[in-house]
Structure 1
């Protein structure tokens, strides 16, 4: 029975588990050693080389989830992004980034790449033709994000892959918002899949990690430079992440269902000016999302009616937490201009369509009725204070 024939919950639960040969425990034992034997062994293990027993097991699980040959895990999502980019770029090279992009990735590009003689361009939009317009003779990588953070734009992965293959360009995607449960980019021709494993893979707002999944050849390339940069993950966190992945499919499917209902509620609320969620038929790329996603995710964004203060609204919430990060089992909201995209200039944020009043909503697994009640009471307070002011 191959990994591809196993059900998603079976993969989450069993693939990559480390066998407890001594005591026959039902879960993977944790190996905390930072020093291993080097003589008369098949593998010379060292944590920075990504090959401790727990690291190897977790990588097998992530590769199976993303339908790839291999994977690597890192100490954070940005470690996964930066290690992967630097493995495929050198002085004189050029990279094309999708315009709608996570703020941390954007900041890495504009503050770090030029130090290494690497040039970059941001596309005017998120369509394949927008990316094509930025390609130069020395372009080595196209980097996309779909659904994007925080406006949930959808990029046609097949179109981008076909474009890149014609020009011998490596494609990379940040698949964090979708998770492997809702989208598998390699099935659409993308070469390298990157995750902030802090988010849906971890799912409980208590660990920080990153992951990369790709062909063995590409993973070998990333490994060669990553062992020098030192972004490996501690085995304790590796073990916690492997444990969390066992319930990822169950969690994400519940979050999908809740987010769909919350998006519909917000879209029909007179106090909301705009809702961004690929599962809404009003979304510009709804049909494309239907084609390349098997679930629309637990993330959405919305804008309050003009005149209503977004900060006051979030402070009035009683159940939903105004909090950094995303994808925990608990529902959270934040202001991208103050958090995820704070390192971008106001001008650059506005180019992406990120307004000061935009609120990003990470929908958890609570009952939808409770989430709706919390939003309604917060809106009522904000409206009352607005009138009194």
Structure 2
């Protein structure tokens, strides 16, 4: 079977599966051993070296989905982000980062980099000039996240790649919100793709994992650090993740379709001040999203009117769960100011327009009519008005 001819659902279902030679089972067997022979073997396997049978198999699937040569699986998304960055950044180096990032990434940079003597700058916008003016002679990495968390801004990947390659700089992207289903950054020349595999790859709110995909050369460099930091993943979780990824395309497409319908409904609601969703024509990056994404995303954010109590709105929901994390088959909602971006200083949240009225909505696979009815009921309860 030639991999270049495989469709994305086929890749998710079959690539990287391990043949059950003993019992001929239809799914990959699980190898739980943490101790392997080292004499007279082709591969000296050790879990912390990311080379157990289940780890290797899953990495093949992720690499092919991201159109890369190789991949690594980590214990969390932040383990993937931190290891990838530190593999290419050393004392005296500099990194340029996108203006808006996941709060954990932002906190990692501002809290830890000074300890390693690594310099950093945040681009003040999303244009080529914004990134270019922050580049220094010692810049080694440009790190972006698109769609961004939580305001769904879209960064021009072709522009970032072109700019970086002209200066000999490595590019990294947090591709979590899009997933490989809706965006393949390698098509635009991005070097290293990073995921919180907890999210769309896992998809059921029961797996904690991270992933990095890149060329063999770049993965070798990341692995060389990763084996020392020890952020590997248990094989049982690896096996669960491989199972979950078989339905990733079906889930993500359904979630993205639902999110677009709900975004349109929220955009017309009298109690909603603003909706952030790249699939809406009113979104400032709509044209760019349409150009570089295969679909939109199952994520959206919206601000409710200041006259309404956000906490009461969340308490009034029955079907949609106010809950941490995202991208499960069930719909969840949260306040970024209290959760994902709580580690940001208040002034930084204000600068990024992450206010107390902003809610991030991870749309699940439920019927949109049921989700809309749930929000409609919550709005009616807190406003005491009968809205259509």
Distance 1:117 1:42 in 2: 40
Distance 2:181 2:4 in 1: 13
Structure 1's consecutive aligned runs of 4 or more residues displaced over 4 angstroms after TM superposition are none
Distance 1:176 1:3 in 2: 24
**Equivalent residues in 2 for 1:99-178 (5 A)?**
99-178=99-178
Match of 1:179 in 2: 179
1:290 aligns with 2:295: no
How far has the Cα of 1:355 moved from its partner?
1.1
Is the 8 Å Cα contact of residues 305 and 357 (structure 2) preserved in structure 1? no
Match of 2:88 in 1: 88
**Equivalent residues in 2 for 1:20-59 (5 A)?**
20-59=20-59
Match of 2:371 in 1: 371
User: What is the DSSP-based 3-state SS (H/G/I as helix, E as strand, rest coil) of the residue aligned with 1:121?
Assistant: strand
Distance 1:318 1:31 in 2: 41
Distance 1:4 1:289 in 2: 25
User: What is the DSSP-based 3-state SS (H/G/I as helix, E as strand, rest coil) of the residue aligned with 1:109?
Assistant: helix
Q: Which runs of 5+ in 1 are unaligned?
A: none
User: Greater shift after overlay, 30-39 or 127-136?
Assistant: 127-136
Distance 2:55 2:345 in 1: 38
Is the 8 Å Cα contact of residues 100 and 126 (structure 1) preserved in structure 2? no
1:311 aligns with 2:332: no
Distance 1:2 1:353 in 2: 47
How far has the Cα of 1:350 moved from its partner?
1.3
Summarize deviations over 1:14-65 as a string: whole Å, max 9, x none.
0000111111110000000011011111000000000000000000000011
Distance 1:31 1:302 in 2: 44
**Equivalent residues in 2 for 1:185-204 (5 A)?**
185-204=185-204
Distance 1:126 1:71 in 2: 28
User: What is the DSSP-based 3-state SS (H/G/I as helix, E as strand, rest coil) of the residue aligned with 2:384?
Assistant: helix
Summarize deviations over 1:221-262 as a string: whole Å, max 9, x none.
000010000000000000000000000000000001100000
Distance 1:279 1:91 in 2: 41
Distance 1:356 1:3 in 2: 47
How far has the Cα of 1:353 moved from its partner?
1.4
Distance 1:173 1:131 in 2: 14
**TM-score normalised according to structure 2 size:** 0.98
Distance 1:182 1:350 in 2: 30
**TM-score normalised according to structure 1 size:** 0.98
Match of 2:342 in 1: 342
Match of 1:221 in 2: 221
Is the 8 Å Cα contact of residues 4 and 67 (structure 1) preserved in structure 2? no
Summarize deviations over 1:53-96 as a string: whole Å, max 9, x none.
00000000000110000000000000000000010000000001
User: What is the DSSP-based 3-state SS (H/G/I as helix, E as strand, rest coil) of the residue aligned with 1:95?
Assistant: strand
User: What is the DSSP-based 3-state SS (H/G/I as helix, E as strand, rest coil) of the residue aligned with 2:125?
Assistant: coil
User: What is the DSSP-based 3-state SS (H/G/I as helix, E as strand, rest coil) of the residue aligned with 1:360?
Assistant: strand
User: What is the DSSP-based 3-state SS (H/G/I as helix, E as strand, rest coil) of the residue aligned with 1:113?
Assistant: helix
Is the 8 Å Cα contact of residues 148 and 177 (structure 1) preserved in structure 2? yes
How far has the Cα of 1:125 moved from its partner?
1.5
Give the number of equivalent residue pairs: 385
Match of 2:78 in 1: 78
Match of 1:61 in 2: 61
RMSD across aligned C-alpha pairs, in angstroms? Answer: 0.8
How far has the Cα of 1:132 moved from its partner?
1.1
Distance 1:175 1:340 in 2: 17
Distance 2:279 2:208 in 1: 28
Distance 1:216 1:83 in 2: 16
